[in-house]
Structure 1
Amino acid sequence: MGVAERKKRERDDRERRITAAARQIATAEGWEAVTIRRLAEAIEYSQPVLYSHFANRDAIVAAVAVEGFRELADALQCAPEGHTDGRDAMRAVASAYLAFAWKQPAIYEAMFAMPTGLRFAEADAPPAARDAFAALAAVVPAGDVETATETFWAALHGLVELDRAGRIRPSAREERLTLAVNGLLGHEGYAVAVSTKD
Structure 2
Amino acid sequence: MSSTERRERERARRHQLIITAARELAEAEGWDAVTTRRLAQRVAYSQPVLYNHFKGKDAIVGAVAVEGFDDLAAALRRARRTAGSPREALRAVGRAYLDFAVARPALYAAMFVRETDIPFAQEAQQDPPAAPRAAFEELAAVAGPEDGRDAEVDAEVIWSALHGLAVLARSGRIPPLRQRERLDALVERFAPDAAGRRKASAGQDGSGTAGAGGT
Flag whether TM exceeds 0.5 (same fold).
Answer: yes
Please name the residue that 1:131 is paired with.
Answer: 134
Alpha-carbon offset, residue 188 of structure 1: 6.0
Residues in 2 aligned to 1:85 and 1:42: alpha-carbon distance in whole angstroms? 46
Q: Secondary structure at the match of 2:80?
A: coil
Residues in 2 aligned to 1:188 and 1:104: alpha-carbon distance in whole angstroms? 37
Of residues 171, 174, 191 in structure 2, which corresponds to 1:165?
171
Please name the residue that 2:117 is paired with.
Answer: 117
Residues 3 and 162 of structure 1: is their aligned pair in 2 closer, same or farther, counting only changes over 3 Å? same
Alpha-carbon offset, residue 37 of structure 1: 0.7
Unaligned runs of 5+ in 2: 199-215
Q: Secondary structure at the match of 2:174?
A: coil
Residues in 2 aligned to 1:181 and 1:6: alpha-carbon distance in whole angstroms? 51
Residues in 1 aligned to 2:118 and 2:95: alpha-carbon distance in whole angstroms? 25
Alpha-carbon offset, residue 173 of structure 1: 1.2
Residues in 2 aligned to 1:82 and 1:60: alpha-carbon distance in whole angstroms? 34
- Give the percent of matched residue pairs that are identical in Structure 1 and Structure 2: 51
1:115-168 Cα deviation digits (max 9, x unpaired) = 221111136111000000011110002330111010000000000000000011
- Greater fraction of residues in helix: 2
Please name the residue that 1:79 is paired with.
Answer: 79
Unaligned runs of 5+ in 1: 191-198
Higher RCO (CA 8 Å, separation ≥ 6 residues): 1
- Normalised to the residue count of structure 1, the TM-score between the two structures is 0.92
- Normalised to the residue count of structure 2, the TM-score between the two structures is 0.85
Q: Which has the larger radius of gyration?
A: 2
Please name the residue that 1:93 is paired with.
Answer: 93
Tell me if 1:61 matches 2:67: no
> What is the number of residues matched between the two proteins?
190
